Structure 1
């Protein structure tokens, strides 16, 4: 681990520092991860993370339910992302996929699934996006029809992380005739539910398990409903309110790694017998990168601290963290590629991989433009109040 001074900031407690340092040591033992076979790589990572106890913070313990510790989640994602994007992905989806169960699930739902996901024995996924509704969740058209003793699902979900390898999906569908956000409900859907099929596997510039799911008359028991009927939008937003900050933390982890790689490069590489780091232009790049990393970290751990301190909602703080940390990470990584010269775009180089990994973080769980809308609305509403 390079710069660890941030672990002593007042946002964090000694237990958080110990967690980050121990996880960093563990992640260093993973060895090379196969990014060409992401399905098996993610299965293996989830199993390893679970076996060694690192997935326990991703969901509440049904035997002793306590609020999710967002700072631990953020430190975990930052640390794992600095080592490898797939390791971060495997960890993150166990939390996002079961977030609705942690926050709103019944005792029976928690007892059935959370011991499995926290131990790495089951893989989870979060099925919210549809072909015609990405950030516009309220425009969801997938239906959940009340059929007496069952719910019947029809429709499609797309860009679903862990689609095709998940054992359980948290899914949102329209259960009411009411248009907009008030008509949605949340459900827990086992992957072997009849009527659920993987319609398409999706390839991206940074390979991850992604798929389009198709539901045709898929029947669920009434007990599959998470929380209250018609409260799906509220549940989805509450989950994102917790986990959106962790996306910012992953971006921060990518940026830290890029800065470390850049510093190593410019101190070792020589031009006319002198290190690149002697050049003022290079020093300016390093200074700007360090500034972006620290500013991002302040926003990330402020948002996480606020949530852990009991704030009912941190939509503004989380949006600021995600917008700034992911956008600035893109700039930090781009600068690292530039400082590496031709090697920066060579396939297999660390900074080349980071360049591909960071782009999706500025889109999923609310694109950067959506975060600006959230921040503006929250600021204006506060001024009016």
Structure 2
């Protein structure tokens, strides 16, 4: 099924990515240990040039999966097509790719020349694993309430003390983008982003036993020293680093969800077309046929919204925060619905270990929480709607109401 305005070349590229994920990446994923970084898988993503779009400049022609031709889509839309295609065939590969991008994108966008030279080459090649360390035990959705303290230790020098929690790729990442409070009681305006290598003295990580199969851990900072050379962007402007990174990746989280929903839908079509029931095939029951139609319609709607948000991001439109929030909200909620409905139509067999739906059932829950829970996305959407309404009532020029969320606002 085609969607949005994808051209034949883009559609063929997505099919190539699905095949690549199924043939080259899935075997590596199956050899991995749940809850651990699968380094051979990350390195394979690098060798296949699939990590390049995460770090290439907007609109650049990174090389495709064969490393012989330009990708037919770049920017946020290209990233969405990449994530959706990988998620359809191998969620582990998609997740490894996404986590690498989330952790290293701040370095690509805000890092110094020295930071980029040291870390982006290995990250792009899949030899250095990155992580995005924003959440804390007491600051998940309210990211502006960060408590990890960066106490001044002289000119351009700080000591980090505190905790991070629910950090993907921790404690096995090679470097972390860490957000810490450099100015007390300043809310979002007192947060600074730091690039912290994993071997920095005083940094200790602990794995967490989570339902999600990818690695998640906690980080403890015991007087970890950082300097101006470790700052990403500007001091006290780290919340902007976090928000621009999240806005960059939120539509593509929706693409991940669309990929999972599409895989569940196709599995359901195959099962209901072949399964004998009540003197015919399961698909002949109107209740079943209508359920499948609903699954397909919702998934296509989610796909269209994800692509539209990504295209708006690539055009530089000002209302990307609202569009990204809508795309993530609709796509992740829909994926939960579709996978659950698929399990119901398959019956007990879908809950057996090793079944594609058993795997998707475990994978699909987390995206409704990370990178801004569904409730946070609704808050962002409502804030933008009321801001637009207020602007319209005040007689602002058409289009003036379409403003992005202020990066200092607590919207993570």
SS in 1 for 2:365: helix
The CA deviation string for residues 109-139 of structure 1, in whole angstroms up to 9 with x for no partner, is 1222111111111110000000000010110
1:103 positional shift: 2.0
SS in 2 for 1:34: helix
How big is the alpha-carbon RMSD for the aligned residues of Structure 1 and Structure 2?
Answer: 2.1
- Change beyond 3 A, Cα 1:255–1:144: same
- Change beyond 3 A, Cα 1:165–1:341: same
Judge conservation of contact 1:39–1:165 (CA < 8 Å) in 2: no
1:65 positional shift: 11
Task: Write the distance in 2 (CA, Å) between the matches of 1:300 and 1:261.
Answer: 22
- Spell out the pairing of 1:162-241 with structure 2 (5 A cutoff): 162-198=169-205, 200-241=206-247
- Tell me if 1:53 matches 2:49: yes
Partner of 2:272: 266
- Tell me if 1:290 matches 2:284: no
Length, aligned pairs only: 377
Q: Which of 42, 59, 74 is residue 38 of structure 2 equivalent to?
A: 42
- Tell me if 1:152 matches 2:159: yes
1:18 positional shift: 4.5
Task: Write the distance in 1 (CA, Å) between the matches of 2:359 and 2:149.
Answer: 39
Partner of 2:333: 327
Judge conservation of contact 1:16–1:71 (CA < 8 Å) in 2: no
Q: Which of 18, 21, 43 is residue 24 of structure 1 equivalent to?
A: 18
- TM-score in terms of structure 2 length: 0.87
1:60 positional shift: 2.9
Partner of 2:248: 242
Partner of 1:134: 140
- Change beyond 3 A, Cα 1:105–1:16: farther
Q: Which of 260, 267, 274 is residue 254 of structure 1 equivalent to?
A: 260
- TM-score in terms of structure 1 length: 0.93
Judge conservation of contact 1:131–1:158 (CA < 8 Å) in 2: yes
Judge conservation of contact 1:36–1:207 (CA < 8 Å) in 2: no
Task: Write the distance in 2 (CA, Å) between the matches of 1:312 and 1:382.
Answer: 12
Judge conservation of contact 1:61–1:114 (CA < 8 Å) in 2: no
Partner of 1:95: 101
Judge conservation of contact 1:61–1:115 (CA < 8 Å) in 2: no
The CA deviation string for residues 90-120 of structure 1, in whole angstroms up to 9 with x for no partner, is 0001110012122222222122211111111
Deviates more, 1:102-111 or 1:370-379: 102-111
Task: Write the distance in 2 (CA, Å) between the matches of 1:363 and 1:26.
Answer: 29
Task: Write the distance in 2 (CA, Å) between the matches of 1:147 and 1:14.
Answer: 57
Task: Write the distance in 1 (CA, Å) between the matches of 2:220 and 2:43.
Answer: 27
The CA deviation string for residues 246-282 of structure 1, in whole angstroms up to 9 with x for no partner, is 1111111110000000000001111144211111111
Q: Which of 354, 367, 370 is residue 373 of structure 2 equivalent to?
A: 367
Partner of 2:126: 120
Task: Write the distance in 2 (CA, Å) between the matches of 1:237 and 1:88.
Answer: 22
SS in 2 for 1:38: coil
1:41 positional shift: 5.8
- Tell me if 1:77 matches 2:79: no
Structure 1: gaps (5+ residues): none
The CA deviation string for residues 187-238 of structure 1, in whole angstroms up to 9 with x for no partner, is 101111111001x311222221010000001112321001111001111111
Deviates more, 1:285-294 or 1:202-211: 202-211
Judge conservation of contact 1:241–1:313 (CA < 8 Å) in 2: no
Task: Write the distance in 2 (CA, Å) between the matches of 1:65 and 1:108.
Answer: 24
Judge conservation of contact 1:254–1:358 (CA < 8 Å) in 2: yes
Deviates more, 1:31-40 or 1:295-304: 31-40
SS in 1 for 2:308: helix
Judge conservation of contact 1:96–1:126 (CA < 8 Å) in 2: yes
Task: Write the distance in 2 (CA, Å) between the matches of 1:227 and 1:108.
Answer: 13
Q: Which of 348, 356, 360 is residue 354 of structure 1 equivalent to?
A: 360
